[in-house]
Structure formats: structure tokens, C-alpha cells
Amino acid sequence: MSNTKQYPMQFTGTGGEYFVIWIVNIALTLVTLGIYSAWAKVRTLRWFYGHTLLDGQAFSYLATPLQVLKGRLIALAALVAYYAASYFAPLLAGLLLVAFFIAMPWIVVSSLRFRARMSAYRGLRFDFTGRIGEAAVIYVLLPLLILPTLGLILPYMAYRQVRFIAGNTVYGQTAARYRGTLQPFWGVYLLAFALMLVPVAVIAYGISQLIAMQTAGIPREIAGPAAAGSIGLGALLFYLMLPVVGAMIMARTANLFYNATELGPVGFDCRQRARDLIWIYLSNLILIALTLGIFIPWAKVRLARYRAGRLTVSGPQDLGQFVAGQQQGSTATGAEMADLFDLNIGLT
């Protein structure tokens, strides 16, 4: 008899429950001129964590509103200083931008560490042990190579980001291991490149039509409208393909992240599908527009329920065998800076 047991992840929250929290958060944030936003964030995350269950046990979010508020005020002060400098002292604004670029590795590591340490399961906290030097290579140096390599660095960059996050995650005293290789990431991004070539090819065909007709002596007034159809169709396909490619990359990257990660005796099986995410995003967008934003809580719950439902944990008969690690403090400044500047650091 096998000692390994399958534990499906569950999300038990409903859109109606979250709507009450969401609408109250908005009202109190407006009344307090944004100060309550820190309490709103913590309340929201505690609700989502508390409704995410593994083996009947909920996850916990441990940050306090004051921690988030302090980090948010520091991040906001930095943003205000930059915009003020850009108006009154452009040279100083440039120096601040350089300083932000230099601080990027610290922001990344600080954000990942805070989010990990403020997350717990069965009373044990997570942690993140990544180094700033490695973050500098992954989040600063590699992105600088995107244009020189015509995007060919993207598979390697995604692989390094996944390995960096998964391989430096700790639960209690148990460090995670990432067993994945670079090759599957090439498959994901080559497919993405191929999909994006379709609208580019249609646009190129339209432009070639225009050039050919002008070379043949056809007046621009006639050639332009004739080629506009192909160019317009290509542009439409380009914008329609962006969410398709984005959903495909997100789904397959999440699968590569979880399926090659081991946490002691625990493994993961993630089976997200691009077509599912495309449908969820598209239908959510339509329903949010039709309801003038009221559907937002249900949209977030749908996505959380899908992601949880597509993740299964395999491990020993008793998941309570992990040993607690040393509790460490952390600040929310890096996490709030990452949120404020919309830096996509974490993986889902």
C-alpha cells in the first residue's frame, strides 16, 4: 500500500461573500482618503488565504495593516519625490530613476521574502532565501538583453525566474527544490512567437500589396484602401492574439513551476489550460463591463477557484510532519513598491 496521498487544493469562497468585503473596502478607502487601503489589502488577502484549503486546513496571511501602511507610505513617498523632481529638477529625476533601477534586485527579493514570511499553513510560516546578486542578474541584466536578442532571451529569463522563486522557497525548515530544465520553456515561447507571427504576416502581406500596386503605377488613392483591409485585419488579429498568447504563457509557466517543484516529501500536479484562462478572462471582462464593475468580486473568485481546482498536492499521509523554522521579521516596503510600480514578480 502506497504511503503517498493526493490532496486536491480547494477554494471555498463565493463571489457574494467577497462582494461585501470589496464594497466596504472601497467605501472606507474613499472616506479615509486612501489610508484604509492598507487594512483593505490585509482584509482581502486574509479572506482569500482563509478560503484556500489543503487537506481541510486553510492558509493564513499574517501581515498587519500597519506593516502594509508603512511600506505603502515609503513607496508612495518615493513615487511623489520622483514626479516632483521630474517637474522641478529633471536631472535629479534621472538620478532617482537610476537609483530605482539599481534598487530593483532589493525590491524583488524584499517583496518575495515579505510575501513568503507573511504566509503560513498549519501554523508554519514560509520563507524566501533568494540572494540580491542573483535577482540582479535575473531581473535587471537579462531584461536588458531582450532587444539585442530579439526576444530570444525570454525562455531563459522565464526559466531563471521560475527556478529562482521555486528553488529559494522554504516551508518551516524544509527548503524546496526545483527539478525543471530549460527545454520546456523554449517550447512555450517558440509557440508564442509562432502565434504572434500570424498577424505580423498578415500586416506584412498588406504592406507588400500596397508597395506592389504603387510600383505598378496604381494611384495611392486606390492602392491604399485596397491594402488597408489586410493591414487592418492584421492589426486586429495582433490585439486579439495578445491575450491568447498571454494566457498560454501564464498557464504553461504555472504548470512548469509547480510540476517540477518538490518540498521535502511533497510534490505538485498543476494542470492549467490556456483555453480555460482565455475563457475566464474574456467572460470576466465582458461581465465587468456590462455590470459597470460590480462583477469584479465574482471575477476574482472565479480565477482563484480555477487555479486552486487545477492544483493537486501529493505527499505523505500526514502533512503535519514539517518542522517549524526560525521566525524572522520582514518589512513590507519592497512588496508595496512592487505593487505600486506594477512589477510582475510573483508567479501564479
Domain limits of the chain?
7-61+272-309, 65-180+332-348, 182-259
Q: What's the pLDDT at 287?
A: 95
CA distance 277 to 306: 9
CA distance 65 to 36: 9
* pTM as predicted: 0.84
The CA-atom distances, in angstroms, between 9 and each of 54, 58, 309, 311, 347 are 5, 10, 6, 6, 17
Nearest to 167 by CA among 185, 151, 157, 179: 179
DSSP string, 124-186: EEEEE---HHHHHIIIIIHHHTTTTTTTTTHHHHHHHHHHHHHHTEEETTEEEEE---SHHHH
Residue 318 has pLDDT above 60, yes or no: yes
Q: What's the pLDDT at 347?
A: 53
Q: What's the pLDDT at 137?
A: 95
Three-state DSSP class for residue 228: helix
pLDDT digits (tens, 9 = 90+) for 121-179: 988 999 999 999 999 999 999 999 999 999 999 999 999 999 999 999 999 889 999 99
The DSSP symbol for 320 reads: G
pLDDT digits (tens, 9 = 90+) for 197-249: 998 888 888 888 777 777 777 776 666 676 677 788 888 888 888 888 999 99
